[in-house]
Copies of this chain bind each other. A is one copy, B any other.
Amino acid sequence: MTLNISSKIKLAVKGEGRESTLIRIGDAVIGGGKVAVIAGPCTVESREQMIEAASAVKAAGASMLRGGAFKPRTLPYSFQGLGLEGLKILAEAREETGLPVVTEVMAPEEVAVVEEYADVLQIGARNAQNYPLLKRVGKAQKPVLLKRGLASTIEEWLSAAEYILHGGNADVVLCERGIRGYGRLTRFTLDLAAVPIVKEVSHLPVVVDPSHSTGVRSLVKPMSKAAVAAGADGLIVEVHPHPDEALCDGAQSLRPRDFETLMDELGPVARSVGRGL
C-alpha cells in the first residue's frame, strides 16, 4: 500500500513549496528541531491550582501550558469549567511563568474572548467536524491546535484542517488523541501510525496526547516516548499538582514529580531521533 490522500485536499497536504510548517508561539516553536511539550491540568479549577501546576511544568521544562476553561463534558451535571474566570487565571499563569497558553474553544461566539486571553485555540475531538467553529477559527488571529475526531479518518482530520487553512489561518497544529476502539483497558486506542502518515503527506506539525488517549497514568510515559520516536513534533500531557483531588481526569494526570521523570527520560529519546526537547 502507498499513502493515497484525496486530491480534493489542497492546503493541508505537502506541495507548492510547503514541506514543513513551523508554528511560533511566544518563545515556543512547534514543528522544528525541538519537541514541544505542552503540559498542565485538564481543567482550570482555581488560581492556586493553576499557578502551582504552571510553575511545576515550567520547572520541569515544558514549553507551553494547557488548561481547560470551557469544558466539553458528557453530562450537563458535570463541572462545565470556570469560563471567563478560567481564561483570566490562565493569562495570569502565563504572566507568572512566561509559558504560552493553549485552551479549548467550543463555540463560534466564544472565539473572540478565548482569543483575547489564550495563545493557541484548541478544537476538541468532539468538535473536530463542527464546521461553523472551524470556519470561525479560520478567521482567528491565533494558531489552532486541532484534535482528531473520536473516529475521524486521517482524511477527515486533514479536511477539518483544510477548513481552517481555507479560512486564512495558516497556523494549524494537528493532535492525535486516540480513536475509538474495542479495548476495555484504555479509554481510546492511540493510533501512533497517524504521526508518520501525517508527516509524510502533510506539511502541518503533529503532536500527541498520551493522557486522554489512554486514560491510564502508567501508560503516559511509555506512550510519550513512543510518540517522540515515531516523529511527533510535540506532546500535550495532563499534569495536576494533586491528581486525587482533580475535578476531572485525575486517573490519567501525572503528578509533578512524574512529569519531571518523563521530561528527564524523554530527552534521550528525542535525541535518538535527531531532535531535542
* Chain A residues at the B interface, C-beta cutoff of 8 Å: 1-5, 8-10, 72-77, 106-110, 126-127, 129-133, 135, 149-151, 153-156, 159, 162-163, 166-167, 179-187, 189-193, 195-197, 199-200, 213-216, 218-219, 222-223, 225-231, 251-252, 265, 268-269, 271-273
Contact = CB atoms under 8 A, between A and B. Distances in A.
Interface centre among A74, A107, A225 (most CB of B within 10 A): A74
Given A3-B216, A132-B107, A231-B222, A75 B193 contact: no
Contact of A222 (B9, B74, B230, B265): B230
A58 B150 CA distance: 38
Given A106-B131, A192-B223, 19 more contacts: A4-B185, A10-B77, A75-B162, A76-B135, A77-B166, A107-B108, A149-B150, A150-B150, A150-B151, A153-B185, A155-B184, A179-B182, A182-B182, A184-B184, A189-B193, A190-B191, A196-B222, A222-B229, A229-B269
Interface centre among A2, A185, A195 (most CB of B within 10 A): A185
A216 B187 CA distance: 24
B153 A184 contact: yes
A196 B180 contact: no
B218 A196 contact: yes
Contacts of A215: 1
Contacts of A109: 108-109
Contacts of A197: 185-186, 219
B225 A229 contact: yes
Nearest to A195: B222
Contacts of A4: 185
Contacts of A166: 76-77
Contacts of A269: 229, 269, 272-273
A251 B1 contact: yes
Given A150-B149, A185-B1, A229-B229, A219 B196 contact: yes
Contacts of A228: 229
A202 B218 CA distance: 15
Contacts of A107: 107-108, 132-133
Contacts of A150: 149-151
A233 to B, nearest CB: 13
Given A8-B75, A106-B131, A230-B222, A1 B216 contact: yes
A192 B195 contact: no
A112 B76 CA distance: 22
Contacts of A72: 129, 131
Contacts of A185: 1, 3-5, 153-154, 197
